[in-house]
Amino acid sequence: MSGSNARLGILLSGRGSNFVAIAENIATGTLPGCAIAVVISNKADAPGLDAARARGLNSAVIEARGRKRVEHDAEIIACLREHSVDLICLAGYMRLLSAEFVRAFPNRILNIHPSLLPAFPGLDAQEQAFAYGVQVAGCTVHFVDEQLDHGVIVLQKVVPVLPGDDAHALSARILEQEHIAYSEAIARVLSGKYRVAGRRYVNA
Ligand code: GRF
């Protein structure tokens, strides 16, 4: 997958700020050697889709409503294949992937999660961390496996929890780092200069 023309497939469900950060980093040359081949949303009204269209990127809405997960995922897989995607980036994609989806792209699906995994998987991670009273928080970019927020960790960024913070302020501080971390993790993976040893991501 390394090389100068890696094709990214972005999956999102909402705001899309991580997608926009990736797109900006590609546009400015901060994240070289790749292009966004397609942006797919399971929600027709996702603001991230508007951002994709405004950038003139290929986009698709593939709604899940009333369909089995495997059928929905099969349609997404077909769309990703149609666009010859090399690496899939979940960017606020609020659906679990089927085992079939994960197996179709082994170690080729990344996710970003707003906590220092394995702490606080699942929804509202920043609120969970704040309520728990942690003194450092952060974000994790990881390969997606068949368990929620669980795969091999590619990169983490740490932020402090400061006096006077509330969950909102902490979320904003984490998000700022997410926007840096995701592109760094994509660059790492696209470089091919790593191996996976058990649960460990090891730079080669
Ligand atoms: C981010 O906090 C990300 O870590 C989590 O969902 C949120 C998506 O935000 N998986 P955005 O849509 O990228 O702005």
Check if 168 is active-site.
no
Atom nearest to 12 CA in ligand 1: 12
- Determine the distance separating the centroid of ligand 1 and the alpha carbon of 91, expressed in angstroms: 6
pLDDT for the residue numbered 4:
62
* pLDDT tops 70 at residue 74: yes
Q: Give the global pTM.
A: 0.97
pLDDT in tens, 14-54: 999 999 999 999 999 999 999 999 999 999 999 999 999 99
Average pLDDT of the chain is: 97
Q: How far apart are the first and last CA of the chain?
A: 16
Q: For 17-71, where are the E strands, in sequence order?
A: 34-41, 59-61
CA of 111 to the centre of ligand 1 (A): 9
- Is beta strand 87-90 parallel, antiparallel or unpaired with respect to 6-12? parallel
Distances in Å between the Cα of 17 and the Cα atoms of 14, 23, 49, 86, 136 are: 9, 10, 11, 22, 23
2 band by pLDDT with thresholds 50, 70 and 90: very low
Q: For residue 1, is pLDDT > 70? A: no
- pLDDT over 80 (residue 198): yes
Q: Give the span between the Cα atoms of 142 and 111, in whole angstroms.
A: 6
pLDDT higher than 70, residue 11: yes
Query: What burial class does residue 70 get, using C-beta atoms within 10 Å of its C-beta: 0-12 exposed, 13-18 middle, 19+ buried?
Result: exposed
Q: Which of 72, 113, 150, 179 is catalytic?
A: 113
Distance in Å, CA 115 to ligand 1 centroid: 11
Helix then strand then coil, in percent of the chain rounded to 5, is 35, 25, 40
pLDDT at 99: 97
> How big is the CA angle at 98 (ends 35 and 186), to the nearest 5 degrees?
25
Atom of ligand 1 nearest to the CA of 20: 13
Q: Cα(122)–Cα(111) distance, rounded to whole angstroms?
A: 12
User: Which of the listed residues 175, 177, 183 should we mutate to test ligand 1's pocket, taking the one with most ligand atoms within 8 A of CB?
Assistant: 175
91 lines ligand 1 (CB under 6 A): yes
The amino acid sitting at 34 is: C
Atom from ligand 1 closest to the CA of residue 93: 10
pLDDT in the model for residue 65: 87
pLDDT digits (tens, 9 = 90+) for 105-162: 999 999 999 999 999 999 999 999 999 999 999 999 999 999 999 999 999 999 999 9
122 alpha carbon – ligand 1 mean position (Å): 12
Among 178, 179, 180, 183, say which to mutate for ligand 1: greatest number of ligand atoms within 8 Å of CB. 178
